[in-house]
Amino acid sequence: MENHCLITLVEKFRMKDMSAFPLIFAEFEGLLHHYAAKCQAEDTFQELSVFLVELLYKMDLKKFRKDSTDSLKRYIAVSIGNRYIAFSKEDNLFKRDREILENSAFSNDIYLQRQILADALRTLTKKQRMVILCRYIYDYSDVEIADSLGISRQAVNRIKNRAMESMREYLK
């Protein structure tokens, strides 16, 4: 689908014309299924579909208006691919952390698991703890956390990765 067609559909969608969404979704549905099958996490398809909707509202269409190629479609496809990569990394971190807890001597005692996790959270700095809680407990996106803390999304990601590594080390 060329830029002018896709731009028209996105603009209709942004103006709450829901008849445009199935046409947009059809362009990317195969890609969404492909990444969902690769990740093997149960909510990957839904996560990527929600990301597509958010992207349709957020992206700047001005960049693509003068271009008559399919650069907008490629931009959306690459964005979906990047979100898949981020989602699969998060999923792998959760799997590793879950395995650590399951393989611990306290795996059958939920109270002790919670206590160990609380102790691990206490080892973090205030900012690390806030990022971890916002991301994994309250399910905020990295962008939302960055906005609320007044830092970049990349800084949130670095803080989150350091915090997760620190917690992993504590749990060993």
Q: What is the CATH number of the domain that holds 155?
A: 1.10.10.10
**Mean pLDDT value of segment 2-14:** 89
Q: Is residue 120 part of a domain?
A: yes
Q: Is the pLDDT assigned to residue 159 strictly greater than 90?
A: yes
Are residues 50 and 14 located together in one domain of the fold?
A: yes
Asked whether residue 133 falls in the same domain as residue 74, the answer is no
Domain final position from 53, 86, 119: 86
In tens, the pLDDT along 28-78 reads 898 888 888 877 666 778 888 898 999 999 988 888 877 777 788 888 988
Contacts 24+ apart (CB under 8 A), 16-24: 21/53, 24/52, 24/56
Structural domain boundaries enclosing 165: 104-171
Structural tokens at position 64: 């693509």
- Domain stop point among 86, 117, 137: 86
Question: Do 8 and 80 fall within a single domain?
Answer: yes
Alpha-carbon distance of 79 to 99, in angstroms, equals 30
96 domain-assigned: no
Lowest mean pLDDT among 69-83, 95-109, 158-172: 95-109
Task: Verify that 16 and 72 share a domain, yes or no.
Answer: yes
Using a 10 angstrom Cβ sphere, with 0-12 exposed, 13-18 middle and 19 or more buried, the burial of residue 101 is middle
70 and 11 housed in the same domain: yes
Q: In total, how many domains does the chain have?
A: 2
Asked which of 26, 52, 86 is the last residue of a domain, the reply is 86
| Distance (Å, whole) CA 131 – CA 170 | 18
Check whether residue 32 and residue 69 sit in a common domain. yes
Same domain, 119 and 165: yes
pTM for this entry: 0.54
Amino acid 94: pLDDT: 56
